[in-house]
């Protein structure tokens, strides 16, 4: 059963006034659902393609579901990329999920048309499908490459930010420790930075002078604190460094390996600035590319759907290949009632759809048709129906 989280595209043979059919169907659907309005249904013009042979149609009908799935996945990946770039903000996302500046619903229900300039109907259906597949593959590859470039830049920035945002046991100390905090150019003594767990600060203050034999009394100074640690600087003699570090480890104090360098501080700041600028620039590029490629990908996706609609219609109803297309957005939780209205409306097509292939329209070769009869009989309704999944719900 089709989903109520998708837009339905339907094809039936042209039997009279298509506009009258649309109005009649809209009235009936409105009667079964108070929230269904004329804006929920629209015409879907189906061009007259070069039909080709039954054999070529059957072969194409077997390939189209695979292409359909790939196209759906590509469109979904672009939407997911936009969603992540916009921090899952539905209002911002809706502003970027557009086809030629139109919303998806507006495009499908009011402005859909076959792009004759790009996909001329004088081409064979297989050639046209190959062009669509080539275009979508190119879009997918471009998106993958740009997304990978952006993710690498974002990863570098996040790694640098972690050095700034972690607790005092791991984060960069370049913006915390100043030159005045460290003992410089002493032949016998040195300053050491120690991250002490907050719950052990009292113990540290009463015992650090005894962790090694040559610790300068009252030399410990608190430089910074966070939720987990307090950072101290303490002065010791160089000869007891190893012993002091070992005692710190035994007492769960973390000695930070840090040597003050103005050049290093400047280098870290420059790296952060470069990484931040690169991430912002690539974010902007990826957002713009995703917006453009969503429009392009969705149009290619929709054109493939119409090709599939046409091929199934010819296999089901035969020639002449003159079909009425309808796009509709069913109201949520009304799927069964909507299908009942459609089935009653098009019940007259039952015999025609079952026997179309045996008529002279497609092929008069009874043995040839019989070879593919199982495929021709795979139908669920008397009308042809495919779904366009909602990209934003």
Does position 264 have pLDDT exceeding 90, yes or no? no
Q: Is the pLDDT of residue 305 over 90?
A: yes
273 inside domain: no
The beta-strand segments (E) located in 130-220 are 189-197
Which of 67-71, 367-371, 386-390 is predicted with the least confidence, judged by mean pLDDT? Answer: 367-371
Does residue 184 form part of some domain? yes
Question: Residue 167 has what DSSP assignment?
Answer: -
Q: How does the average pLDDT of the chain come out, rounded? A: 88
- The verdict on 13 and 140 lying in the same domain is yes
User: Same structural domain for residues 147 and 293?
Assistant: yes
Each residue's pLDDT tens digit, 46-96: 998 998 899 999 999 999 999 999 999 999 999 999 999 999 999 999 999
171 found inside a domain = no
* The pair of three-digit structure tokens given for residue 174, joined into one six-digit string: 């370049």
Co-location of 67 and 119 in the same domain: yes
Please tell me the least confidently modeled range out of 172-186, 189-203, 235-249. Answer: 172-186
Residues 143 and 285 in one domain: yes
d(CA 31, CA 36): 8
Assigned domain for 167 exists: no
| 104, 20: one domain | yes
Residues 137 and 194 in one domain: no
pLDDT of residue 358: 46
In the structure, what pLDDT confidence band is assigned to residue 375 with cuts at 50, 70 and 90?
very low
Name the pLDDT band for 372 (thresholds 50, 70, 90): very low
pLDDT value at position 376? 43
Please report which confidence band the pLDDT of residue 283 belongs to, taking 50, 70 and 90 as the band edges. Answer: very high
Assess if residue 164 is contained within a domain.
no
142 and 227 co-located in one domain: no
Q: Give the CATH number, domain containing residue 324.
A: 1.20.1460.10
d(CA 382, CA 384): 7
User: Structure pTM?
Assistant: 0.78
**Predicted local distance difference test score (pLDDT) of residue 368:** 40
Same domain, 10 and 138: yes
User: Looking at 259, 287, 319, which one is the last position of a domain?
Assistant: 259
Q: Residues 127, 187: one domain? A: no
Question: What domain range is 325 assigned to?
Answer: 6-154+279-389
Helix (H, G, I), strand (E, B) or coil at 322: coil
CB atoms < 10 A from the CB of 242, how many? 10
Mean pLDDT of the region 137-159: 96
Give residue 131's pLDDT. 96
Tokens for 257, please give them. 């390996």
Report how many domains make up the chain: 2
Is residue 359 scored above 50 in pLDDT? no
The larger pLDDT score, comparing residue 332 to residue 202, is at: 202
Residue 267 maps to a domain = no
Looking up residue 234, the CATH number of its domain turns out to be 3.30.70.100
- In which element (H, E) is residue 253 found? none
**pLDDT level of residue 393 (50, 70, 90 thresholds):** low
Q: Are residues 112 and 213 in the same domain?
A: no
- Residue 188 shares a structural domain with residue 251: yes
Residues 205 and 310 in one domain: no
- In the prediction, which pLDDT does 352 show? 66
In the predicted structure, residue 360 carries a pLDDT above the cut 50: no
The verdict on residue 271 lying in a domain is: no
Residue where a domain stops, chosen among 259, 288, 317: 259
Exposed / middle / buried, residue 366 (Cβ in 10 Å: 0-12, 13-18, 19+): exposed
């Amino acid at each position: 059963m089709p989903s109520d989280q998708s837009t339905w595209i339907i094809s039936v043979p042209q039997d009279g006034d298509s506009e009258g059919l649309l109005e009649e169907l809209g009235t009936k659907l409105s009667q079964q659902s108070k929230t269904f309005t004329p804006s929920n249904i629209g015409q879907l013009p189906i061009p007259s393609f070069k039909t080709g042979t039954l054999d070529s149609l059957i072969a194409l009908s077997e390939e189209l579901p695979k292409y359909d799935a790939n196209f759906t996945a590509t469109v979904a990946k672009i939407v997911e990329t936009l969603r992540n770039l916009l921090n899952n903000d539905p209002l911002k996302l809706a502003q970027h999920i557009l086809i030629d500046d139109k919303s998806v619903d507006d495009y499908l229900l009011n402005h859909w048309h076959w792009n004759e300039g790009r996909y001329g109907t004088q081409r064979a259906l297989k050639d046209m499908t190959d062009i669509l597949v080539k275009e979508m593959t190119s879009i997918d590859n471009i998106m993958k490459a740009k997304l990978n470039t952006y993710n690498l830049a974002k990863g570098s920035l996040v790694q640098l930010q972690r050095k700034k945002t972690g607790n005092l046991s791991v984060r960069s100390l370049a913006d915390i420790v100043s030159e005045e905090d460290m003992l410089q150019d002493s032949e016998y003594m040195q300053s050491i930075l120690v991250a002490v767990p907050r719950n052990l600060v009292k113990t540290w203050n009463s015992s650090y002078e005894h962790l090694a034999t040559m610790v300068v009394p009252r030399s410990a100074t608190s430089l910074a604190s966070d939720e987990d640690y307090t950072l101290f600087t303490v002065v010791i003699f160089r000869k007891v460094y190893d012993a002091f570090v070992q005692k710190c480890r035994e007492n769960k104090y973390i000695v930070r390996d840090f040597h003050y360098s103005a050049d290093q501080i400047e280098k870290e700041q420059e790296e952060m600035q470069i990484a931040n600028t690169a991430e912002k620039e690539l974010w902007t590029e990826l957002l713009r590319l995703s917006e453009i490629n969503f429009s392009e990908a969705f149009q290619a996706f929709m054109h493939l759907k119409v090709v599939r609609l046409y091929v199934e219609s010819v296999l089901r109803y035969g020639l002449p290949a003159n079909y009425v297309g309808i796009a509709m957005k069913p109201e949520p939780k009304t799927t069964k009632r909507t299908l009942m209205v459609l089935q009653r409306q098009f019940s007259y097509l039952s015999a025609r759809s079952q026997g179309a292939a045996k008529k002279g329209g497609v092929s008069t070769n009874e043995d040839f048709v019989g070879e593919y009869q199982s495929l021709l009989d795979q139908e669920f309704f008397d009308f042809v129906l495919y779904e366009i999944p909602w990209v934003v719900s």
